[in-house]
């Protein structure tokens, strides 16, 4: 009886080896389409030190940098971590810098969104907001949520604001408050009471 069990064990090993070798040979000879390698699979790619420069006719119009980014292929957009957006005005060498904690670049729509704690600096003007949106076709920076403007001798607050990049004008609306001259927050609070 022991002799019969040993023969079975001896026959089982070559059969197992043959099955494994047959499976490997079959798997390697299949076409790539059968294995699923040629399908268009949505890929997310993450990059550090992301930089995109946009311009036309040899002129740089804006630059977008981020510490980290991830690309969503299905939606054709790039998520940004600690983005810095710089708009160049070659006519007068002016530069507008905008930064925040997070952002989103939609390559198809050519829009940029930044949030929260948005900071924008232009010459002596400082703008703070919860959110900023830029649409390349309109050439405007649209600020929303607790918008604060600071000039050397004026401060303003509102719910929304638009900075026109071509005309360099700033329009505020929704609960606008303007303080001329230097006035402390304490005086403003007392005046409201």
Give per-residue pLDDT as tens, 94-105.
Answer: 789 999 999 999
Beta-carbon count within 10 A of 156 CB: 18
DSSP class of residue 15 equals H
| Locus of tokens 């026959």 | 11
Task: State pLDDT tens for residues 18-39.
Answer: 766 666 666 666 655 544 444 4
Phi, psi at 58, each rounded to 5°: 75, 10
Q: Is the pLDDT of residue 143 over 60?
A: yes
Instruction: Give which of 62, 70, 65 is closest to 50, Cα–Cα.
Output: 65
Integer Cα distance of 51 and 65 in angstroms: 4
> Which residues, listed in sequence order, are joined to residue 102 by a DSSP beta bridge?
81, 115
Q: Is the pLDDT of residue 137 over 50?
A: yes
CATH homologous superfamily of 44-192 equals Lipopolysaccharide (LPS) transport protein A like domain (2.60.450.10)
Query: Can you give the residue ranges of every domain in the chain?
Result: 2-35, 44-192
Instruction: Give which of 89, 87, 68, 90 is closest to 78, Cα–Cα.
Output: 68
pTM, to two decimals: 0.69
Please tell me the least confidently modeled range out of 1-5, 47-51, 64-68, 75-79: 1-5
How is 92-151 classified by DSSP, letter by letter?
TTEEEEEE-SEEEEETTTTEEEEESSEEEEETTEEEEESEEEEETTTTEEEEEEEEEEEE
Q: Is the pLDDT of residue 50 over 80?
A: yes
Q: Is the pLDDT of residue 111 over 70?
A: yes
Task: Please say whether the beta carbons of 160 and 174 come within 8 A.
Answer: yes
| Locus of tokens 């900075």 | 163
| Locus of tokens 């268009």 | 40
In the chain, what are the helix, strand and coil shares in percent, each to the nearest 5?
20, 55, 25
Q: Is the pLDDT of residue 129 over 90?
A: yes
pLDDT at 24: 66
pLDDT band at 167 (very low <50, low <70, confident <90, very high): confident
DSSP class of residue 174 equals S
Task: Please say whether the beta carbons of 163 and 148 come within 8 A.
Answer: no
């Amino acid at each position: 009886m022991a002799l019969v069990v040993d023969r079975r064990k001896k026959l089982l090993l070559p059969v197992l080896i043959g099955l494994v070798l047959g499976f490997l040979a079959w798997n390697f000879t299949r076409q790539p389409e059968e294995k699923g390698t040629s399908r268009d699979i949505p890929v997310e790619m993450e990059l550090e030190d992301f930089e995109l420069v946009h311009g036309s006719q040899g002129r740089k119009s804006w630059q977008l940098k981020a510490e980290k980014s991830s690309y969503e292929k299905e939606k054709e957009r790039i998520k940004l971590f600690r983005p810095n957006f710089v708009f160049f005005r070659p006519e007068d060498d002016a530069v507008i810098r905008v930064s925040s904690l997070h952002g989103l670049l939609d390559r198809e729509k050519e829009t940029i969104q930044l949030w929260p704690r948005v900071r924008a600096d232009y010459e002596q003007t400082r703008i703070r907001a919860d959110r900023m949106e830029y649409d390349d076709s309109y050439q405007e920076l649209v600020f929303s949520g607790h918008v604060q403007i600071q000039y050397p001798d004026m401060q303003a607050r509102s719910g929304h604001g638009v900075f026109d990049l071509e005309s360099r004008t700033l329009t505020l609306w929704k609960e606008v408050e303007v303080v001329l001259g230097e006035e402390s927050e304490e005086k403003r609070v007392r005046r409201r009471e």
